[in-house]
Amino acid sequence: MRKASALFALALCATLHASDRVEVGFADERVFPESVTSTRDGTLYVGSLGRDSVYRARPDSARAENWIAARSNGLQTVLGVFADEASGTLWVCASASGGRGGAPVVGETAVKAFALADGSFKASYPFPGGGLCNDFAVAANGTLYAADTAGGRILRLVKGATILEVWAAGNPLLASADGLALLADGALYVNSFGGGTLARIPINADGSAGTIAKLETSRPLSQPDGMRTVGPRTMLMIEGAGRLDEVTINGARAEIRTLREGLTGPTAVTFTGGTAYVAEGRLSLLSDSTRDPGPFRLVGVPYQLPR
């Protein structure tokens, strides 16, 4: 009992320290963070598009260090990351590069699985037909959903399966599919970065995708990006225009409440320890080596969970 109490106290201290961080910097330059995820103890994991690697900031640190080495186990064009504590897995999006203007395609688009405990490689799951892996959501039963932005589709990996399968495709609402989130109603929510839309996909009893429906939003969305579930009907969402939003689903309508404006090229958000951490990706400067993007950071925004 004393040991359990001591562990609880340590975990609580870690969470409190994590909530004190107003921002988290990076140990390297030109990181271009594209996605961020977290665990309950306040550890932050960041997918670096600029470094083709994954960074980690411990709960008591305001500095993210390179944790999974650049291009290890096929990592390249690193976008989405998702900490799945139930399976002890860090899911990472890696995508092929090239292919435009006759350039050869290099590498493959795949979901990479690494151990949360030590960053060791676990497995790779190629995207059927290629594409651009962007973001994830994981259901309570362990099913992983992945957005293919280039292909306008949602893939899934059922717990225990070895192959990704196409779950939803062929609908205009999935064009430039980006952020994903699962809510208590059992549906998957997906936004479109290019279309500025938010849609709901019911999950049928047999696990198949139901009819995709566009939600009415309380105001127009501008480049909606990363999303994370924070309540039964509520998500946090990034808008590329510089906003962090709280999104509450009420039937066929999504109420949008802006929590922070003026963010610099935000791409993703995660929540842990009473704080929403926003990745400022500044991706518009990624291909311009003549301009200094400056130091990158995760911006901490205090946030109270909905009741």
- pLDDT (mean) for 224-235: 98
Q: Is pLDDT of 85 > 50?
A: yes
For residues 107 and 59, give the distance between their C-alpha atoms in angstroms, rounded to a whole number: 34
- pLDDT tens-digit profile of 168-218? 999 999 999 999 999 999 999 999 999 999 999 999 999 999 999 999 999
User: At a CB cut-off of 8 Å and minimum separation 6, what does 53 contact?
Assistant: 66, 67, 68, 69, 70, 71, 72, 75, 78
What was the pLDDT predicted at 12? 36
Count of other CB atoms within 10 angstroms of residue 158:
16
- pLDDT tens-digit profile of 8-53? 333 333 443 555 689 999 999 999 999 999 999 999 999 999 999 9
CA 192-302-32 angle, to 5 degrees, is 50
* Any domain includes 5: no
Percent of the chain with pLDDT over 90: 84
* Any domain includes 14: no
69 lies in which domain range? 26-302
Structural domains in the chain (count): 1
* Any domain includes 130: yes
CATH at residue 105:
2.120.10.30
Among 115, 73, 110, 65, which residue's Cα sits nearest to residue 90?
115
For residues 222 and 236, give the distance between their C-alpha atoms in angstroms, rounded to a whole number: 15
- pLDDT tens-digit profile of 135-146? 999 999 999 999
* Any domain includes 67: yes
The runs of H, that is alpha helices, within 65-212 are none
* Any domain includes 108: yes
* Any domain includes 8: no
pTM > 0.75: yes or no: yes
Measured in residues, the chain has a length of 307
